[in-house]
Amino acid sequence: MLPQHLKQIRVLMLNDKENLQRTLFRLEQGFELQFRLGPSLQGKKVMVHTNYPLEGQPFQRKKFRVLTWNNPTGREDDSDKFCSLDLKIAGSYEYYFGYGETEQSGRGYIVVDPVLRVGADNHVLPLDCIAIQTYLSKCLGHLDDWPDRLQVAKESGYNMIHFTPLQTLGKSRSCYSLADQLTFNPEFSPVGQSYSWTDLGVLVDKLKMEWDMLCITDVVYNHTAANSVWLKEQPECGYNLVNSPHLRPAWVLDRGIWHLTIRVADGHYKDKGLPADITSESHLSAIRNVLWQDVYPQLKLWEFYQVNVASAVEQFRTLLQNGTKGLKIIQDPNYRRYGNTVEIHSALETFVPHSSSPQHIEECCGWLRQKLDELNEEQYHIVHQHQEQATNCMVGNVVYERLADHGPKLGPVNRKNPLVTRYFTFPYQDMTLEEEMQLLDEPDKTCHFLAHNGWVMDDDPLRNFAEPGSNVYLRRELICWGDSVKLRYGKGPEDCPYLWEHMKKYTEITAQYFHGVRLDNCHSTPLHVAEAMLDAARAVRPNLYVIAELFTGSELVDNVFVNRLGISSLIREAMSAGNSHEEGRLVYRYGGEPVGAFVQPSLRPLMPSIAHAMFLDATHDNECPIQLRSALDSFPTSAVVSMACCATGSTRGYDELVPHQISVVNEERFYPKWNPTAALTSTGEVGFQTGIIAGKLALNKLHQELAAQGFIQVYVDQVDADIVAVTRHCPSTHQSVVAVCRTAFWDPKTHHYDTSVPPMFIPGKIEEVVLEARTVERHAGSYKKDDNYINGMPEYNVEIKEHISLEESTIVKRAGVTSKGRSEFVQEITFEKLTPGSVIAFRVSLDPTAQKMVGVLRYYLSQFSPKYRKGSVAEENPPEALQNPLAQLMSKLTLADLNILLFRCDSEEQEDGGGCYSIPGWETLKYAGLQGLISVLADIRPNNDLGHPVCANLRQGDWLIEYVSNRLIHREGPLAQVGQWLAAMFNYLKHIPRYLIPSYFDAILVSTYTTALDATFKLMSRYRRSTVEKLLILMIDLFQSVEMLIFHITFPKQFHPEWLQLCPSHIAGLSLPHFSAGIFRCWGRDTFIALRGLMLLTGRHTEARNIILAFAGTLRHGLIPNLLGEGRCARYNCRDAVWWWLQCIQDYATHVPQGHEILSCPVLRMYPTDDCEPCKPGEVEQPLYDVIQEALRRHLEGISFRERNAGPKIDMNMRDEGFNVTAKVDPATGFVTGGNRFNCGTWMDKMGESERARNKGMPATPRDGAAVEIVGLCKSAVHWLVELNAKGLFPYDGAKVIREGQQILISYSQWDQQLQQSFEAGFWVSGDPTDPNEKHPDLVHKKGIYKDSFGASSPWCDYQLRPNFTIAMVVAPELFTAERAWKALEVAEKKLLGPLGMKTLDPDDMMYCGVYDNALDNDNYNLARGFNYHQGPEWLWPVGYFLRAKLYFAKKLGGDTYSTTVTLVKNILSRHYTHLERSPWKGLPELTNENGLYCPFSCETQAWSLATVLEVLYDL
């Protein structure tokens, strides 16, 4: 077994309702396939089924098993779990998956390639090494002569032979019309011998063991020879008039046309302008006239589809007279004339007499008669249309067979060559048409009238044209093979047991003796039949090689056949190309990756692919290339084909320049034998002097060498109209072979070819000319078709030289060497004798210096992946920067360093005088750090998008390379060392050819990035590591990047470091890219909403502690600043930040071991009094519990002040009243209340900015009064302090305040109880008009919810449905009755929950608007300048609290509620994972527009968005 880092693993992401039956997934044996759940399936109980068998068990196509889920982290997590298959058996396998009541929610196939082995040592023959040659078996003679004839393939360099069927042939002698599928053709045995399949098997084994050649043959499932003996005994195996009565009208037409043939041949229609010898258009018109005037009227085909009106009316009359109730025509299943009937019950309901009187009944029968006559007339017109099509098809057939220049020119009509091919067998003596019609009533006769097979132009290949519902035979649309009968398998073996068993034996014999099969007429073979037969074949030979030629016209339909049958290679033909440009495109299309392609990881997504190609210069059943092009084109086209990175091949006769098609039907001559010294004029022998055989040997050797040595990259260059240059490149050694082929699609004797050939510029060093060859004319006589042997044109052969120096070449010469840059040299080549029909191939390596640089680069990269070991070269004196492993350098980095290395957006970099790199003509990278590039490369790499602007930039210069290393080198300490390591690696990179730079730059970056991630995880708690891995599936191995948002939270440098209590340079309130620098970087509220998720749950306890204490030092007026403002212009204008801060202190004490000790930590106070100037560091110091006490005391006393520097200096939009800040505790309820209608003291803090709309200075959401989340946070804090005091951990049990001139003690216990008693009375909206707690029943428009506030200056605002109550549910769940809480959460889910976030306002609210546009300035008060910021757009961070509340109360309610809720939560979180994965910022946004639509005015990534999602994961 391979070590895990070398094992190839492919991951198939399953998505709900995704059916991939037309998508091809190819895999190799030894690969592991992992199924993982996509976002749409996460949270569902998904079961994956497959028919891939357990090890040691046989494959059964319809036997599926359930795969077991693996949980890498030890507990079930839908984003991380997978089920897998270790693929060890070739074939086609199906999978499907479902959940709950849905058994099949999606399905697809995988195709596992066979492993082919040859030689005495049983070595592997890769599929791309295959070079196949086709032989018409009947032209090989006796079996004793086969080795001499097959040796031609061996000596020509082929390693696989394709035999047409070797069974007994039918009467027509067609290679594909078999009389007996089970017997070895007796023609292959000389007189006195009787060779069998066993004797053939001995020969096949000899070819494999001694010649290193494999053998395949055709299997023909669709038809059998019309004279097959077994068919006479088993006529049910074909489509006859008994089992397929729908063909009876077509048979009648076929017999009518046969009798027309006899009359035409006998001259009966000569007087009507239709002689036996049809030669003109007038004769064609005469055919049409005779059909319409004589044939069709006599046959009366319409009667098979009509009703006997008189009989139907009589039946109807009888039923009416009897008073029975119950119009549609029912087709007669036996297709008799006037056999159709009426659906009598519908007739009785449709035609109702006024009474049962005879007069009314007769009147009603008249109506029915009239209607039936109309229906019969419709049937007549339908058949008339069929006859029109039949006429056109028959005339078209006559044109091809008798008039067309490219047709067979059959000559006069006679019984051997009828007017058109017969569609049905007729195994009886001639009789009149009238006598034949009488046979229709004799099933023992009609069962032998069997339909012939053929093909239908532009037909649906997935439809059987002989089955009911098809009119192909009646409309004469079948291009018929009159020697073969189409086989009728039915739906399964039970429909025709003999045929299934017979063909199964045939298949097993074939699989026993041959290494592979070609599926003849694959596109017309019923899929279920081919499936069953190939299953039987693979049971005999598991590594069966299966090829087929499809004519579906659609790659997607091709995939259906490839998937269901497990086809290994699809036959493609160079002759399908109309010019050299198209021929070159086929090479590029059918194999290989582009030169300079990216190195793909061993574990990566399973990507759709195209079918593996068997690319042939010509196939055996198509026209001869010499006839269509020229003899000179044979060799260059073969060269183009041989350079393709796939299986290749040809047909016997092509290399010998046989100038005609070797007919599979009519050819009876033998192939010549091999003789290396054969005379040029010999017809019975061939050798290296024959045709292009010597050149083909060189091409086949080259093709196999390139595939075996890993030349998997391909580049095709159209040099001019006739010249194609194909490059094969090895990505590990960086050697290339460049073949320049001058095609000759037109005969040079009649077509002028330009004598001036443009020079070529070949990058690198030309090591040798691998081969150069020209097709030349010689004086050996002209071609004359031999009577006994299939001979070729003696007048042409190939002049060839192999493995010569450039100087020895007669085709090219070196013009000069130029340098395109460091170590990138280009050799100019001029062509002297590249005549049409010529080929030259160069072996090219990198310049020696560049080769060494690549080797050293691969050596250093091999520390990250063994893939780079091949071609690596150790350096004797490595630079100092590379002497230590990168992991060692990374281990010295702090999280702050890693933030710089990986992230930092443009504005952050600009603070240090830099910026993010901008790709000219494209865009600026999102991050200056590695993540900026990794996000882009993650999209480029899987698709090898080398045309991307980033790749172009890398090829054009070193700017981006130097940017990456220089921004780190300019820093100090370990980061500079990492920068120096990168610079040293890039120094090698700069000295290799530019076309290789994107690939190696990516390799260096990925290696650095993954090492940085490893270092990051080591600095985090175990929880953080597992969660990120769960949240971001395949993060490292698939190079899908992780957004370490916690890195982004840099504390302002201008703020004195001693105030930070040793705080690191991160704070948890950052948003990118809008709030990433300057005074807008650090927000108090945002920091503490994000702190638990990003710092406490990730194990960054020291940083969390320091942030808490640092902000404690900024307390003023009993509040925590909203905007820190670099410590110089802090604004204390929010009412909620202090409560979030208190919540974080509680969370710290709960999560951190001995966390309560933070309460005694010293706090350096900046503002010990409200009005003092900032104190010097250390001047005033207090324990944290005193600061906490001050915050609560000030609220109990009541806070009221005016912001410092009030006015446009600190807020250019706010009205004067808005600068007045108030907050207090309502003595009646205990609620913290405050604010006014001109300011906004909670997180919903949008201030109007539009003068035009007159909303400037007006808050969109003042939320004055008691905001629900503040009440919840307050309850949480007070309750906690009561508990701490009881344990002796907090010295205060209450606070002394002045009330009505007297100092009183308000105990926290009393406050806690008051909040508990007041909350639901004040906030629950019951909707009951008699509810005594409801003060404004007229304002209720949603019942069963919690108010957003209590006591707002605009009372209707209290009743708005917003997501804020879910925050209170999480921090103080004891305030809520579980049933009421669940009801409110259900309303929120229905009305507020979006794909990623929560709507900030009920969409039923008149103020709702879900699209945020901060640039819009119009007259709309509610919209202008983004006034609706919190009036509908879907914010992400509240969704975390909603989901946590759902989980909490679901568990309270018990039963199935919790499991259902977990499913919901996982499903919602999967959407966040999807966004994370796809976002170039690798983060979660601030908000989206309605229904999850992208909002361009949103921050692309925000700390609290990710933090609250992490908290949900923690709760799960």
CA–CA separation, 613 and 616 (whole Å): 9
Cα–Cα distance measured from residue 136 to residue 166, given in angstroms and rounded to the nearest whole number = 9
Q: In terms of Cα–Cα distance, which of 1342, 1353, 1489, 1354 is closest to 1423?
A: 1489
What are the structure tokens assigned to 82, written together?
């997978």
Residue 1090 to residue 1509: CA distance in whole angstroms: 10
The Cα 844–Cα 977 span in angstroms is 38
C-alpha 1152/C-alpha 1143 separation (Å) is 14
Q: What is the C-alpha separation between 571 and 518, in angstroms, rounded?
A: 9
The DSSP call for residue 888 is H
CB 647, CB 614: distance < 8 Å: yes
Instruction: From 317, 427, 403, select the one nearest 362 (Cα to Cα).
Output: 317
CB contact at 8 A, 1045 and 1030: no
The question of whether 5 is a catalytic residue gets the answer no
The answer to whether 1438 and 1363 have CB atoms below 8 angstroms apart is yes
The answer to whether the beta carbons of residues 473 and 257 sit under 8 Å apart is no
Look at the block and give the residue holding tokens 């603070």: 911
**Contact, 460 vs 554, CB < 8 A?**
no
> How many C-beta atoms surround the C-beta of residue 284 within 10 A?
19
DSSP string, 680-748: TT-SSEE-TTSTTHHHHHHHHHHHHHHHHTT--EEEEEE-SSSEEEEEEE-TTT--EEEEEEE--SS-T
Amino acid at 1115: L
Type of residue found at 946: L
| DSSP string over 1050-1094 | PPPTTS-GGGGTT--S--TT-EETTBSSGGGS-BHHHHHHHHIII
Comparing CA positions, the residue from 455, 459, 449 lying closest to residue 478 is 455
List the catalytic residue out of 86, 621, 786, 1186.
Answer: 621
> Which helix H or strand E contains 766, and what residues bound it?
strand 765-777
What is the identity of the amino acid at 1460?
T
Backbone angles phi, psi at 524, to 5 degrees: -105, 0
Output the CA torsion sign for 259, 260, 264, 267.
positive
Which residue has tokens 């944290």?
1184
CA-atom Rg of the chain in angstroms: 42
From CA 1241, how far away is CA 1440, in angstroms rounded? 22
- 1289 DSSP assignment: S
For the stretch 350-354, contacts whose Cβ atoms lie closer than 8 Å and that sit 24 or more positions apart, written own/partner, are 351/316, 351/327, 353/320
* Catalytic entry in 520, 722, 897, 1405: 520
Alpha carbons 704 and 157: distance in angstroms, whole number: 9
Strands (E), 973-1026: none
**What is the number of alpha carbons within 13 Å of residue 928 lying toward its C-beta?**
25
Q: Is 1374 helix (H, G, I), strand (E, B) or coil?
A: helix
Using CA atoms, how far residue 1337 sits from 1172, 1325, 1364, in Å, is: 48, 9, 21
Instruction: Give yes or no: 523 in active site.
Output: yes
Residue 434's CB is within 10 A of a number of other CB atoms, namely: 8
Active site residue 1074: no
Q: What are the E-state strand segments in 288-410? A: 329-330, 341-342
**Which candidate in 523, 620, 1117, 1472 is catalytic?**
523
Contact 929, 902 (CB under 8 A): yes
- The answer to whether 743 touches 641, Cβ cutoff 8 Å, is no
Active site amino acids: 520, 523, 621
